[in-house]
Amino acid sequence: MAESLLISGADIVTEEEIIRNGFLGIKDGIISYAGKTRPQETYEKEWKAPAGSYALPGMIDIHIHGGYGADTMDADVAALDTMSARLPEEGTTSFLATTITQQHENIEKALVNAKKWASSSPQVQKGAELIGIHLEGPFVSPKKAGAQPKQWITPADAGLFQKWERLSGGLIKIVTLAPEEDPDFSLIRYLKDQNIIPSMGHTDAGAELLQKAADAGAVHMTHLFNAMSSFHHRKPGGIGTALACGRITAELITDGIHSHPLAVKLAYLAKGSKNLIMITDSMRAKGLKDGEYEFGGQKVTVRGDTALLSDGTLAGSILKMNEGAALMRRFTNCSWLDIANMTSANAARRLGIFDRKGSIAEGKDADVVLTDGQCGVLATICRGNTAYISREADWT
């Protein structure tokens, strides 16, 4: 049962302002109050937040393959159990389980498993909420495969996708594809009509084709700067298209490895905080020690902050959402309101769930992360349930 909880003393980051030293009330899994003065209604429990702490909307990771030893493609309930239970440690309260280009049979197993897990009792799922699936591939370009296994890349196929849509129980919310692999844009148009986000990614297409794809409905870009046609002032490619077109929202991995800090700052200056969505693109090695791991059937070596295939290709990340937020602030000097947009609100808006998630507002799901001034996670609340609390936090 969700807690009846009043959090006092934190700076509350709402949609438009920061309420200094405010009060945040939670009842029945919903945000019941957010304000400067103590509410009149009573709560069963009160947390007095440490000085200098911030209450942010729970982070939404729309592109995450795995972490903590688990991967979406494991296609078993235990893997999603692990992801749901551990992601609150980094402030993530909702996520899209992300697939990778693989044999169709393996993709289908992962889709069916996600459907099975999502349909289990919500009372059992007290961690990060699975709000859908991000289908990354297999409809991508071999020229920009990155860590997507080339042998399983498939031309865009609306009929095949419809089969997968049924198998997932309608959970697929984003599809990363290369527009040049969908030459008549039939899949892009179908996705748009079904309110599924067609995301341009792993593409070698030039700016002209990408703009036509955007006209057809592909107004989202997968992990900006990575696995796309590069920028030249006479051939702006995928990077230039994403940066210059205000209608396109762009994912961004802010680990300083996938994109240089200056590139991250460039994206922030060009797109603003309302058109960027921070992601981790993390794989199973996140939260684990250096060593050898598997990703999409390929051996990955993790050393320090980097995960690489044998040929040196980046293979996802081991980034945590709160770490990405801290680095974003360091690279750009952005505000806490900007961080709330880029880690939560923009994703919720793009997914069409801003009525219930993405910001701290009365009546919305009580998805809240309490952080210190350096984005360290003190506590995470998922739909009113305490999913994580730091041993260092003192709530007396």
Catalytic residues: 281
The CA distances from residue 3 to 23, 35, 204, 296, in Å, are: 16, 19, 49, 39
Q: Euclidean distance between the first and final Cα of the chain, in Å?
A: 22
Q: Residue 303, annotated ligand binder? A: no
Q: Residue 316, annotated ligand binder? A: yes
Q: Residue 2, annotated ligand binder? A: no
Rounded CA gap, 290 and 306, in Å? 9
- At position 43, the amino acid (one-letter code) is Y
| SS3 of residue 192 by DSSP | helix
Rounded CA gap, 295 and 279, in Å? 18
Q: Residue 315, annotated ligand binder? A: yes
Q: Residue 227, annotated ligand binder? A: yes
Q: Residue 21, annotated ligand binder? A: no
Contact 77, 134 (CB under 8 A): no
Q: Residue 314, annotated ligand binder? A: yes
Q: Residue 267, annotated ligand binder? A: no
Contact 5, 42 (CB under 8 A): no
Q: At what angle do helices 237-244 and 207-216 cross, to 10 degrees?
A: 50
Q: Residue 41, annotated ligand binder? A: no
Q: Residue 166, annotated ligand binder? A: no
Rounded CA gap, 90 and 388, in Å? 9
Place of tokens 């905080």: 273
Q: Residue 202, annotated ligand binder? A: yes
251: Cβ–Cβ under 8 A, 6 or more apart, which residues? 62, 63, 199, 220, 221, 222, 223, 224, 276, 277, 278, 279, 281
Q: List the binding residues for substrate.
A: 147, 226-227, 234, 258, 314-316
Q: Which residues are annotated as a binding site for Zn(2+)?
A: 136, 202, 223
